[in-house]
C-alpha cells in the first residue's frame, strides 16, 4: 500500500462521489462539513435509483413480486447494519429517523416503562458537558415528567471528560442511566466509552451511547463495548438522510414499551386490547423509510468493498487517513496568528474546531465559502459546551475518507486570507 501513489488512491475514491466535481463560485468544491452530513457514493445513489425505478413497494405482508423484492432488500439492510455494529443479531437493530429519534425512543421507554426500566423521582441521569442537544433535551423532558435529575459530567480544558469526576458522580448519585457520546461532534474528542460503560455497570446504571459521530470514523463493536443502547445517524455514514439506527440489547428492547402505535408494530388488535409484535417491529410503527434503509445497507456494503470485504480493514484505513488530515490541519491552522484550536484531546477523530481573534466564525465560514470551501460555523448544537469554553461558536472543519491533503492546504490558504482581511 505504501508503494502506491496516494494521489491515485484519493482520486479513485473521490471519483465515486459525483458531487465532488462541483464548482462553487468558480472554484473546486472542498467539502469539509462531514460532521453535519457526508456526501454519497455512486454505489448508494445507484441503489436508490434502482429502488425507485424498479423495486418501489411497501414492505412486509405483500405477496406480490415488488413487495417481496423490497422486503428482501429492506431485511438485508438490517443484517448489514448488524455487521456494522457487531451486534449479536439483526433483531437488535431498530430503524429510526436518526440518532435523535433513537435517543427519544429510549427516553420515552424509560418514562413509561416498569420496574428497573422506569425513571422515578430523584433518579439521576448523567450526561457529559460535551453532549449534543439531542442527548440533553430528551433527558430533560424525561426528568420533567418523572421527577428525575439530569446531572452534567464536567470536562477538562482539553475537551476530555473528567474521569475522576465521573467516578465520583457514579458513587454519589448512583444514576439510573449514563448518556454520553462516543465522539464529540464539536471537538472531535473520542471518549473512553468502553471503560465508562464498565464503570457505570459496576454501579448498576444503564448506558446509552450517542454514536452519531463515531459511525463514519471508528470500527464499532457493541458487544465488545457492552453498550446497552447505541444510536447511529446514518446520513453521516454515506447513507441517505432520514434514516438512523437504535441498537439495544434484546432483553432491554423486549422490556421497553412501544414508542409509537400503528401498523406493523402489532400482533393483534381489537377494541378489547392490543398485543404487540416482537422486536424490532415493536418500535417501527408505520411505513418505514424503505429507500433510506436500503441506501444504508448499501453504504455498509460499499465500506466492506473498500476494505476488500472487511469492515475492520476499511475502518483501519479510514482512521489512519483522517488522523493524518486532522493532524496536518491542526498544525497549520495553529501556526496562523490569532487562531485558537478548541479541543485538544489526546484521542480525536477527524474534526478540527477553531476560532480567530479578529473574525467571528460566521465570517470565517462565509469567506471560506467564497473560496469553494464548505465548513460549519456555530455552536454545533452544543451550547453547554460552548459556555464551558466561554465562546459563542467555533468554525469547524470535519474530514471524511474522500478528503485530501490538497484540500487541507486550500483550507490553510483561505483561513490566512480571513486573517489578512480582518487583521
Confirm whether 113 is domain-assigned: yes
What phi and psi values does residue 314 have, to the nearest 5 degrees?
-60, -50
pLDDT digits over 213-248, tens only? Answer: 999 999 999 999 999 999 999 999 999 999 999 999
Report whether pLDDT(7) > 80.
Answer: no
Instruction: Tell me: pLDDT of 329 over 90.
Output: yes
Taking CA atoms, 18 is separated from 21, 41, 345, in Å, by 6, 7, 34
Query: Rg of the chain's alpha carbons, rounded to an integer?
Result: 22
Per-residue pLDDT of 109-120, as tens digits, reads 999 999 999 999
DSSP letter for each residue of 144-197: HHH--EEEEEPB-TTS-B-HHHHHHHHHHH--SEEEEESB-TTT-BB--HHHHH
205 and 284 together in one domain: yes
Q: Give the whole-number percent of the chain exceeding pLDDT 70.
A: 98
Question: Span 4-30, mean pLDDT?
Answer: 87
Q: Which DSSP helix (H) or strand (E) runs through 95?
A: strand 93-96
Pairing between strand 266-270 and 351-356?
unpaired
Q: How confident is the model at residue 159 (pLDDT cuts 50, 70, 90)?
A: very high
Band the pLDDT of 9: cuts 50, 70, 90. Answer: low
Domain range enclosing 185: 46-304
The DSSP-derived string for 387-406 is HHHT-S-EEEEE--TT--HH
Count of alpha carbons within 13 Å of 43, Cβ hemisphere only? Answer: 18
Identify whether 1 is part of a domain: no
Using CA atoms, how far apart are residues 357 and 261, in angstroms rounded to an integer? 52
Same domain, 139 and 205: yes
Within a domain: residue 299? yes
Do both 33 and 174 map to the same domain?
no
Output the pLDDT for position 1: 33
CATH number, domain with residue 226: 3.40.640.10
Once rounded to an integer, what is the mean pLDDT over residues 305-331? 96
Q: Is the pLDDT confidence value at 326 over 70?
A: yes
Average pLDDT over the chain reads: 96
Residue in the structure block whose three cell numbers are 413509561: 112
CA distance 71 to 114: 33
Neighbours of 304 (CB within 10 A): 18
Please pick, among 99, 184, 381, 382, the residue that the annotation labels catalytic.
381
Within this chain, do residues 296 and 165 fall inside the same structural domain, yes or no? yes
Same domain, 188 and 273: yes
pLDDT at 11: 83
Closest CA to 207 of 232, 226, 233: 226
* Residue 75: inside a domain: yes
366 and 257 share one domain: no
What confidence score (pLDDT) does residue 4 get?
Answer: 44
| DSSP state letter for 24 | E
For residue 241, being part of any structural domain is answered with yes
> How much is the pLDDT for 8?
60
**Are 225 and 333 in a shared domain?**
no
Last residue of a domain, one of 304, 331, 363: 304
Q: Do 142 and 281 have their domain in common?
A: yes
Please give the average per-residue pLDDT across 269-287, as a whole number.
96
Percent of the chain having pLDDT more than 90? 96
| Inter-residue contact 230 to 85 (CB < 8 Å) | yes
User: Of 288, 304, 320, which marks where a domain is finished?
Assistant: 304
**Is 234 labeled as catalytic in the residue annotation?**
no
- Please indicate, yes or no, whether residues 293 and 409 belong to a single structural domain of this protein: no
Residue 217 and residue 318 in contact, taking contact as beta carbons nearer than 8 Å: yes
Cα–Cα nearest to 127, from 87, 173, 96: 173
State phi, psi for 169 to the nearest 5 degrees.
-70, -35
Q: How many domains does the chain have?
A: 2
C-alpha cell at 66: 415488488
How much is the pLDDT for 219? 98
In a domain, 258, yes or no: yes
CA distance 156 to 186: 14
For residue 418, give the CATH number of its domain: 3.90.1150.10
Is residue 324 located within the same domain as residue 271?
no
Tens digits of residue pLDDT in 184-197? 999 999 999 999 99
Q: How many CB atoms lie within 10 A of CB 55?
A: 20
Boundary-marking domain end, from 304, 336, 364:
304
Q: Answer yes or no: is 323 within a domain.
A: yes
Q: Are 176 and 127 within 8 A, CB to CB?
A: no
- Residue count of the chain: 423
Residue 245 domain-assigned? yes
Same domain membership, residue 222 and residue 114: yes
Distance CA 63, CA 135 (A): 41
Clarify whether residues 109 and 123 are in a common domain. yes
Q: Is a pLDDT exceeding 70 seen at residue 3?
A: no
Instruction: Give the containing element (helix H, strand E) for 216.
Output: none
Amino acid at each position: 500500500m505504501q508503494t502506491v501513489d496516494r494521489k491515485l488512491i484519493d482520486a479513485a475514491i473521490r471519483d465515486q462521489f459525483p458531487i465532488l466535481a462541483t464548482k462553487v463560485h468558480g472554484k473546486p468544491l472542498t467539502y469539509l462539513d462531514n460532521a453535519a452530513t457526508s456526501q454519497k457514493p455512486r454505489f448508494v445513489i445507484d441503489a436508490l435509483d434502482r429502488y425507485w425505478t424498479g423495486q418501489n413497494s411497501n414492505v412486509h405482508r405483500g405477496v406480490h413480486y415488488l413487495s417481496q423484492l423490497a422486503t428482501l432488500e429492506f431485511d438485508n439492510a438490517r443484517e448489514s447494519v448488524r455487521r456494522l455494529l457487531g451486534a449479536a443479531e439483526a433483531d437488535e437493530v431498530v430503524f429510526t429517523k436518526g440518532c435523535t429519534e433513537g435517543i427519544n425512543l429510549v427516553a420515552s421507554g424509560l418514562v413509561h416503562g416498569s420496574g428497573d426500566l422506569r425513571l422515578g423521582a430523584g433518579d439521576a441521569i448523567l450526561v457529559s458537558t460535551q453532549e449534543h442537544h439531542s442527548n440533553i433535551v430528551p433527558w430533560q423532558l424525561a426528568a420533567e415528567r418523572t421527577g428525575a435529575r439530569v446531572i452534567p459530567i464536567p470536562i477538562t480544558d482539553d475537551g476530555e471528560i473528567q474521569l475522576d469526576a465521573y467516578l465520583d458522580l457514579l458513587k454519589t448519585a448512583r444514576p439510573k442511566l449514563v448518556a454520553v457520546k462516543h465522539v464529540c461532534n464539536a471537538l472531535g474528542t473520542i471518549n473512553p466509552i468502553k471503560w465508562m460503560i464498565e464503570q457505570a455497570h459496576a454501579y448498576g446504571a444503564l448506558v446509552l451511547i450517542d454514536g452519531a459521530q463515531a459511525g463514519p470514523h471508528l470500527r464499532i463493536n457493541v458487544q465488545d463495548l457492552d453498550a446497552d443502547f447505541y444510536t447511529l445517524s446514518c446520513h453521516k455514514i454515506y447513507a441517505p438522510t432520514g434514516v438512523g439506527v437504535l441498537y439495544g440489547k434484546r432483553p432491554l428492547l423486549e422490556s421497553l414499551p412501544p414508542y409509537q402505535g400503528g401498523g406493523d408494530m402489532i400482533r393483534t388488535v381489537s377494541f378489547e386490547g392490543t398485543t404487540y409484535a416482537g422486536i424490532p417491529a415493536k418500535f417501527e410503527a408505520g411505513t418505514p423509510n424503505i429507500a433510506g434503509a436500503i441506501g444504508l445497507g448499501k453504504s455498509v456494503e460499499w465500506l466492506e468493498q473498500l476494505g476488500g470485504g472487511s469492515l475492520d480493514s476499511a475502518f483501519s484505513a479510514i482512521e489512519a487517513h483522517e488522523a493524518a488530515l486532522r493532524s496536518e490541519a491542526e498544525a497549520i491552522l495553529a501556526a496562523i496568528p490569532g487562531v485558537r484550536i478548541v479541543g485538544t484531546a489526546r484521542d480525536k477523530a477527524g474534526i478540527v474546531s477553531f476560532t480567530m481573534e479578529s473574525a467571528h466564525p460566521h465570517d470565517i465560514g462565509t469567506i471560506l465559502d467564497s473560496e469553494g470551501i464548505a465548513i460549519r460555523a456555530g455552536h454545533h448544537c452544543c451550547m453547554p459546551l460552548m459556555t464551558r469554553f466561554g465562546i459563542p461558536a467555533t468554525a469547524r472543519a470535519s474530514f471524511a475518507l474522500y478528503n485530501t491533503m490538497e484540500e487541507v492546504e486550500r483550507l490553510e490558504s483561505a483561513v490566512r486570507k480571513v486573517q489578512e482581511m480582518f487583521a
